[in-house]
């Protein structure tokens, strides 16, 4: 089933201990769409400026991603500059230019209307909510956010959370959002805000999947699940790792005939798999040239890493 994703398509300038890249293709929706495209049809809603050319568009088209919802606007594309020189786990933002995103009014192409899955990648919660409301009939909605929106735009974010089935955030964001340092209690607090499932990403330690407890369904199958991250000798560029995780996770779910507990567990593994590829090279370089065979081989590697037999 097709996924529509709304989020940023951007240029990133990135500095890490492995080197530096100027204005490479980036943005949450870009990383998400590329990762999800290995599992299902993906359609993007975003806005870009006059600096977005055929070369960038070709990266999407090579993966059969529908870009009819990427609007061209006068001005420049969203630009972000960040450094991981001090800490590979957290980017230090040097510059953020919203540019064309400052006045973005998302429009849903008619061809996207039959999407059954919707992903609200990390952007202004006001935009996330608008897209959510314009697509009321989707089967499953997941979303991401970041510390900035939690801290300074909480009322708008809380409105978005009410309309989400699944939220994907990291430890720090979960603790901040719930105001609780204990991860289990923080997860429960976040799910009380709306989402019935919550993925908390632990960086190099993997990710956990929590489900809202259902008094009518106490079956063990709905229990918490932990997927590992791959121990890596080198992280070239962490940018987009979380979005690639989300793309693998949600893309795999959208490819499944039924959303069983087993499908959720495998989705967590595919999320970790896509995140592990994303960091191997700068920007979208690694995911853009990836093959399904490599994905399946790494999935087995994750299984060996965690399974008793």
Per CB under 8 A, residues contacting a copy of itself are 88, 181-185, 187, 202, 204-206, 208, 210, 220, 223-228, 231-235, 262, 265-266, 269, 301, 303-309
**Which of residues 24 and 230 has its CB atom nearest to a copy of itself in the complex?**
230
**Which of residues 217 and 234 has its CB atom nearest to a copy of itself in the complex?**
234
Question: In whole angstroms, what is the distance from residue 88 CA to residue 82 CA?
Answer: 11
**Which of residues 138 and 268 has its CB atom nearest to a copy of itself in the complex?**
268
How big is the chain, counted in residues?
A: 309
Query: What does the block give as tokens for 11?
Result: 């240029």
Smallest separation, CB 18 to a copy of itself (Å): 12
Question: In whole angstroms, what is the distance from residue 211 CA to residue 226 CA?
Answer: 12
Query: What does the block give as tokens for 160?
Result: 């978005």
Nearest to 45 by CA among 126, 103, 128, 102: 128
Order of strands, sheet of 19-26, starting from the edge strand that comes earlier in the sequence: 19-26, 10-16, 78-83, 92-97
Smallest separation, CB 266 to a copy of itself (Å): 6
Smallest separation, CB 183 to a copy of itself (Å): 6
**Which of residues 123 and 168 has its CB atom nearest to a copy of itself in the complex?**
168
**Which of residues 102 and 232 has its CB atom nearest to a copy of itself in the complex?**
232
For helices 261-278 and 28-36, the axis angle rounded to 10 degrees is: 120
Smallest separation, CB 207 to a copy of itself (Å): 10
Smallest separation, CB 225 to a copy of itself (Å): 6
Smallest separation, CB 305 to a copy of itself (Å): 5
Smallest separation, CB 17 to a copy of itself (Å): 10
**Which of residues 24 and 183 has its CB atom nearest to a copy of itself in the complex?**
183
Q: Exposure pattern of 112-129 as b/e (b: 16+ CB <10 Å)?
A: beebebbbbbbbbbebbb
**Which of residues 98 and 183 has its CB atom nearest to a copy of itself in the complex?**
183
Residue 146 dihedral angles phi and psi, to the nearest 5°? -145, 170
Residues of the chain by 3-state class (helix, strand, coil), percent to 5: 40, 25, 35
**Which of residues 131 and 278 has its CB atom nearest to a copy of itself in the complex?**
278
Smallest separation, CB 304 to a copy of itself (Å): 6
Instruction: State whether residue 151 is helix, strand or coil.
Output: helix
Question: In whole angstroms, what is the distance from residue 152 CA to residue 157 CA?
Answer: 10
Helix (H) or strand (E) holding 171: helix 171-178
5: β partners? 44, 119
Asked if 98 and 29 count as a contact pair (C-beta separation under 8 A), the reply is: no
């Amino acid at each position: 089933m097709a996924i529509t994703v709304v989020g940023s398509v951007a240029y990133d300038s990135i500095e890490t201990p492995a080197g530096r890249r100027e204005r490479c293709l980036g943005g949450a929706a870009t990383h998400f769409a590329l990762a999800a495209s290995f599992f299902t049809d993906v359609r993007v809603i975003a806005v870009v400026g006059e600096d977005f050319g055929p070369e960038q568009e070709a990266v999407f088209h090579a993966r059969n991603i529908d870009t009819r919802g990427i609007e061209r606007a006068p001005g420049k594309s969203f630009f972000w500059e960040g450094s991981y020189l001090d800490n590979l786990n957290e980017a230090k933002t040097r510059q953020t230019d919203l540019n064309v995103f400052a006045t973005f009014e998302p429009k849903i192409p008619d061809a996207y209307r039959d999407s059954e899955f919707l992903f609200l990648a990390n952007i202004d919660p006001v935009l996330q909510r608008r897209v959510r409301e314009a697509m009321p009939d989707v089967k499953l909605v997941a979303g991401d956010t970041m510390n900035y929106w939690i801290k300074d735009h909480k009322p708008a974010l809380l409105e978005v959370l009410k309309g989400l089935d699944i939220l994907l955030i990291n430890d720090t964001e979960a603790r901040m959002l719930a105001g609780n340092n204990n991860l289990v209690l923080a997860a429960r607090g976040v799910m009380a805000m709306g989402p019935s499932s919550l993925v908390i990403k632990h960086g190099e330690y993997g990710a956990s999947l929590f489900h809202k407890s259902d008094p009518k369904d106490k079956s063990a199958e709905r229990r918490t699940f932990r997927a590992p991250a791959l121990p890596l000798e080198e992280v070239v560029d962490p940018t987009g790792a979380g979005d690639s995780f989300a793309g693998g996770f949600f893309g795999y779910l959208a490819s499944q005939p039924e959303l069983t507990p087993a499908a959720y567990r495998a989705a967590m593994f595919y999320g970790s798999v896509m995140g592990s590829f994303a960091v191997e090279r700068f920007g979208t370089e690694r995911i853009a040239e990836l093959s399904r065979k490599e994905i399946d081989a790494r999935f087995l590697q994750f299984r060996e890493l965690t399974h008793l037999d």
